[in-house]
């Protein structure tokens, strides 16, 4: 089995865990899981060992694994860590200068975000677009920092559910409140781009840290969903 196929198996399992399809605390039975994925046990064991290194599963007994339970505190703390790391990345970009290609890509994100929020409400299609734009916006800044240490730390941190910028939780019961919060988050994107273009390292670092508070507040509006996926007591 080639490396690409093996990584596909790892990603398939990772996605099932982060989506809650494989529930927190669930014991993973090799035979059943291999049959479910249509693969043999050897690549499955490798994939599970990779996910154990990432902290998504834990060893249970001599051969088995269990899906790790994340507390709500784990999720919120990891969002704080993301803010620190992304703040550092943004500061590096501001101090080194924003090249024209990055400036255009960030402005494209801002224009698309403006278009998403212009109607005054978010339907299901707009929610999907916003999650994509938000993930792209943050990824552009991290990539431009050109720091393997920052990228690796963020990659590991984002294995905790709800932490990735591309993962936005929406709750029908709090849709208008979330719209207002996310519209404010988009205005913060405008401020972040302005600080980057002006070379304001300290300011953009502070803005990125503050920006993560919106993620936490949005999750607080979806606390029942958060408890379900995080497996919190």
Q: Let me know if 51 is exposed, middle or buried by CB neighbors in 10 A (0-12, 13-18, 19+).
A: buried
Q: What is the largest CA-CA distance in the chain?
A: 57
Cβ-contact 25, 66 below 8 angstroms: yes
DSSP conformation class of 120 = S
Total structural domains in the chain? 2
| pLDDT of 10 | 85
Cα dist. 207→51, 141, 215 in Å?
32, 13, 13
Per-residue confidence (pLDDT) for residue 132, from 0 to 100: 87
Choose among 183, 193, 207: nearest CA to 127: 183
Cβ neighbours, 10 Å, residue 182: 24
Q: Which residues contact 79 (CB under 8 A, 6 or more apart)?
A: 162, 163, 212, 215, 216, 219
Q: What is the CATH number of the domain that holds 101?
A: 1.20.120.530
**pLDDT for 228:** 52
50 touches 175 (CB < 8 A): no
pLDDT at 8: 84
Range of the domain at 194: 72-230
What per-residue confidence (pLDDT) applies to 233?
39
Nearest to 95 by CA among 198, 211, 206: 198
pLDDT recorded at residue 232: 46
Q: Are residues 56 and 79 in the same domain?
A: no
> Strands of 64-67's sheet, edge to edge?
27-28, 64-67, 57-60
pLDDT of residue 22: 87
Query: Inter-axis angle of helices 175-197 and 72-96, to 10 degrees?
Result: 30
Claim to verify: residue 162 and residue 53 sit in the same structural domain: no
Same domain, 128 and 24: no
Neighbours of 117 (CB within 10 A): 18
Rounded Cα distance, 222 and 119, in Å: 23
Q: Are 34 and 99 part of one and the same domain? A: no
In this structure, the answer to whether residues 61 and 131 fall within a common structural domain is no
Task: Name the stretches of the chain with pLDDT < 70.
Answer: 1-4, 19, 167-174, 219-233
Say how many Å lie between the first and final Cα of the chain, rounded: 40
Is 223 found in the same domain as 139? yes
Query: What is residue 113's predicted lDDT score, i.e. its pLDDT?
Result: 96
CATH number of the domain within which 44 lies: 1.10.10.10
Residues 11, 39 within the same domain:
yes
Measure the CA–CA gap between 68 and 58, rounded to whole angstroms: 6
What does each C-alpha distance from 74 to 159, 160, 172 come to in angstroms? 11, 8, 25
């Amino acid at each position: 089995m080639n490396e690409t196929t093996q990584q596909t198996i790892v990603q398939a399992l990772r996605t099932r865990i982060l989506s809650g399809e494989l529930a927190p605390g669930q014991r993973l039975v090799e035979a059943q899981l291999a049959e479910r994925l249509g693969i043999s046990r050897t690549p499955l064991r490798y994939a599970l060992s990779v996910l154990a290194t990432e902290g998504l599963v834990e060893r249970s007994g001599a051969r088995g694994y269990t899906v790790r339970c994340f507390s709500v505190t784990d999720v919120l703390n990891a969002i704080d860590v993301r803010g620190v790391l992304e703040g550092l990345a943004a500061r590096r970009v501001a101090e080194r200068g924003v090249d024209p290609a990055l400036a255009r890509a960030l402005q494209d994100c801002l224009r698309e975000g403006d278009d998403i929020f212009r109607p005054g409400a978010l339907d299901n299609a707009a929610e999907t677009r916003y999650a994509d734009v938000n993930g792209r916006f943050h990824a552009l800044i991290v990539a431009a920092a050109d720091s393997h240490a920052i990228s690796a730390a963020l990659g590991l941190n984002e294995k905790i559910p709800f932490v990735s910028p591309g993962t936005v939780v929406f709750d029908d019961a709090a849709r208008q409140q979330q719209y207002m919060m996310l519209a404010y988050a988009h205005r913060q994107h405008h401020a972040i781009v302005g600080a980057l273009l002006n070379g304001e390292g300290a300011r953009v670092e502070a803005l990125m840290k503050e920006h993560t508070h919106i993620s936490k507040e949005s999750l607080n509006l979806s606390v029942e969903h958060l408890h379900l996926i995080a497996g919190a007591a």
